[in-house]
Amino acid sequence: MDRQGGSPNLRAADLFQDLSGAELATLEQRMARLTVEAGRVIYSPGDRSETLFLLKKGRVRLYRLSPEGKVLTTAIIEPPSLFGEMALIGQGMEDNFAEALEDCELYVLNRREVRDLLLTDPRVARRLLDLVGRRLTDTERRLEEFAFKSVPQRLASLLLQLNQGVTMPSGEAPALPAHYTHQQLAEMIGTYRETVTKVLNDFRRRGLIRTERGRIIVLDPEALKKMASP
């Protein structure tokens, strides 16, 4: 993990969209920039020093571990989005992990700076409450998917999500921007690695995807959309 100087485009983040240009410039001066390689853990239980993260580039997975060691993915964060906000409302990060699924660029505000901002600017506090509400709704939606959707449906939906924003030269099918292991995919949809392998092989036989140098290439996104629907 490498810390650098930098200045994010904060206007793109919902939390700060009510701030003026001068207010954004002041806030940007306070923020540090991090680059995190794919597969690295950004924070884990017990980490408290850097609480609010703005994702500029890449994807981040938020997950929890059960006492038995089972992984529950609660969110996949895409830019420009914030995470780490639950610590600001007293929940803390005691049972939460954040992992870089791809090479990421992040910006960070520490706990004291965020609390000062919330206390002095009700616009930001209101936006934070909205963010927390959306995050909780997204978590409920993922739990509903685990309960009511089949593994092929959940995997099709995940591949489409990871494929969003991928651009390729004309005529080429888009490849996922990072190498995802079958174990990672299984953890993101709440199943076993062997089950993911079986479903991916079925998708491959049906011409929905192919693999090339360890990456999954989506060949038929429309068919995956139909499969992902309830």
pLDDT digits (tens, 9 = 90+) for 166-181: 554 455 656 776 788 8
Q: Which H/E stretch holds residue 215?
A: strand 215-218
């954004």: which residue's tokens? 24
For residues 159 and 224, is the Cβ–Cβ distance under 8 A?
Answer: yes
Region 202-213: mean pLDDT is: 92
Give tens-digit pLDDT for 63-122: 888 777 788 888 888 888 888 876 555 555 557 889 999 899 998 887 777 778 777 788
Q: What would the pLDDT profile of 113-150 be if each residue is shown by its tens digit?
A: 777 877 778 888 888 788 778 877 877 777 777 778 89
What is the pLDDT, as a whole number, of residue 222?
93
| DSSP category for residue 114 | H
- In this prediction, residue 155 has a pLDDT band, given cuts at 50, 70 and 90, of very high
Q: Name all contacts of 90-94 with Cβ < 8 Å and 24+ positions apart.
A: 92/48, 93/43, 93/44, 93/45, 93/46, 93/47, 93/48, 93/51, 94/45, 94/46
At residue 8, does pLDDT exceed 60? no
Question: Does the model's pTM come out above 0.85?
Answer: no
Sign of the alpha-carbon dihedral angle for 74, 34, 9, 18: positive
Is the model's pLDDT at 203 over the cut of 80?
Answer: yes
Which strands form 60-65's sheet, in the order they lie side by side? Answer: 41-43, 96-100, 60-65, 71-77
Residue appearing with tokens 């690295």: 40
Report how far apart, in Å, the C-alpha atoms of 178 and of each of 66, 119, 132 are.
27, 39, 28
